[in-house]
Amino acid sequence: MKRVAAVDLGASSGRVMAGTVGSSALEVSEVRRFANGGIQAGPVLYWDVLGLYRETVTGIHEAGHLDGVGIDSWAVDYGLLDERGALLGNPVHYRDPRTDGITVPVPDRELYDVTGLQQLPFNTLYQLLAEGDRLAAARTVLLIPDLLNYWLTGEIGAERTNASTTQLYDVRARTWATSLAARVGIPPRLLPPLRDPGTVVGTARALSGLPVIAVGSHDTASAVVAVPASPGTNFAYISSGTWSLAGLELPAPELSDAALAANFTNEGGVDGTIRFLRNVMGLWVLSETLRTWSTSDLPGLLAAAAAAPALAAVVDIDAPEFLPPGDMPARLAAACEATGQQPPAERAAVVRCILDSLALAYRRTLRAAASITGRTIDVVHIVGGGARNELLCRLTADACGVPVLAGPVEAAALGNVLVQARALGEDLPDLASMRALVRETQEVRRYEPSGVGDWDAAEARLTRNA
């Protein structure tokens, strides 16, 4: 039996989870939870990375005896280190508008052929181009998990699954795209040595020499490890949280013109797999709506939303106006009016509009993924926090027309501890064995399509009014 700490940092909160792994055991329990989120300081939206590090170390201490620790987090954001290894200021939040108007002097087709990434304005490539003079003072760029690993161990490096989200990574060669970086004006010297998931980074000096292990450090990479798919099934996955990432697991990148046109991304997964997916706005719009209303009564709102009329109003949940913080109910109303729909008036109807629109986005994304790759989808696995949302899971089954298997909720932490356990000697030779252990030990709920709602008509309504 191995006992490890999984540090799982999300955009709204972070947790230190204690995980136990054995031949027929897989458990995680929360040791410490702490708030996370953007901090507006003057004109810039930052992350409090020093606070995250403090909470991480405190949580690891509170976890008791451990055999290892691994860190996963959201993607794209980073810290810059100077020649002494000191941090050049707090990392900037990906929702900060500093990348507005930033362009890359490389044709989209050429950029996609190298990196395979969805064009998103907050990708690390765009953020680095927005740095200006700070790049001249920098010697290394470290994504958030790699930065915390460096502070724990003193070892500099970049784990591949997260590196693949930067748009500076050659997805076929599995190396940094140094020629591309130099061409766009990003010094290749900033890009640290790459490491695979399962590599022992070093030992934590402040934690009695505890081994620090590189996991699938992009939280979605860890979450996909814990998708409890049965062998031979044609499955899609949705890692549902503040963001939703919906797609397929492939053995090699899909870099076709159709994939580029549909704006799909090819991110690295554990054991050399490819996460062929598209970012969907996720539960961010719902959480911002609750914040605007100053309410935490999500269960009551979901119950009322379940009784509201289906597909009365839908919006393109991925539209750019829903990306920054703000008054989401007002933005939803404006989007409905712009497409000739009656805006939802009651709070339950607003919540139903959000979840119907999110399920519609899942349907659109997964159908496109299947069409581009020539694959069929027999089942959709929803993992992460969204697996708790029964209404969202039911609507996703209806929208996609296939069963939804919801859970585990703690997929990122489970995937994190599984990769650590293998690195520490547990007999988990491949993803199939890891997923078998997840199926044996974790709760999963099944939702069958009910046939409620004309999803084709709803999709046509959005397409017609686009």
What residues act catalytically? 219
Kindly report the length of the chain: 466
Question: With left for phi above 0 and alpha for psi between -120 and 50, is residue 406 left, alpha or beta?
Answer: beta
- DSSP helix/strand/coil, 146: helix
**């089954």: which residue's tokens?**
397
Please give the full DSSP string across 374-413, using - where no structure is assigned: T---SEEEEESGGGG-HHHHHHHHHHHTS-EEE--TTHHH
> Which segments within 167-254 are labelled E, that is strand?
169-170, 175-176, 194-195, 200-204, 210-213, 235-240, 244-250
Question: Residue 327 and residue 22: Cα distance in Å, rounded?
Answer: 47
- DSSP helix/strand/coil, 10: coil
Name which of 214, 196, 219, 232 is nearest 275 in CA terms: 219
259 touches 372 (CB < 8 A): yes
Question: Residue 296 and residue 298: Cα distance in Å, rounded?
Answer: 6
What's the token pair of residue 343? 């805006």
Kindly list the strands in the beta sheet with 200-204, ordered across the sheet, starting from the edge strand earlier in the chain. 25-35, 13-22, 2-9, 68-73, 210-213, 200-204
Name which of 251, 211, 219 is nearest 423 in CA terms: 211
